[in-house]
Amino acid sequence: MTLPAPRQVLEGERVLRVNWLPGSDRLRGLCHCGAEAEASDPVEMWEWLLAHPDHPAGGPVEPPVTGPLPTPPAHLVTDPLVIIRRVPVPA
């Protein structure tokens, strides 16, 4: 899949760009030196860009995948207005 070049809005020699890649949760960073990388974490992307001229080769370091997320806790309703409107269930 080939993406069009990002719109060039700002001019200058020290402009850093972060663009969202449509259809994904990935970001593409472009440094003013011409280095380009992709990442999913915006903080990692900005740290990579601001590390100029010592960009790590290949872009930001992606965190290791630790497996599936744990099951979320059971939903608990604490809003009094919602609790008042409940229909009592016979015991």
The closest alpha carbon to 43, from 23, 64, 18, 69, belongs to 18
pLDDT tens string 18-63: 888 888 889 998 888 888 888 888 998 888 888 877 776 667 766 6
Q: Would strands 27-30 and 17-20 be described as parallel, antiparallel, or unpaired? A: antiparallel
Mode of pairing for the β-strands spanning 36-39 and 17-20: unpaired
Q: Which residue has the higher pLDDT, 28 or 67?
A: 28
pLDDT tens digits, one per residue of 73-86:
777 767 777 777 77
pTM score, whole prediction = 0.51
Q: What is the pLDDT of residue 89?
A: 77
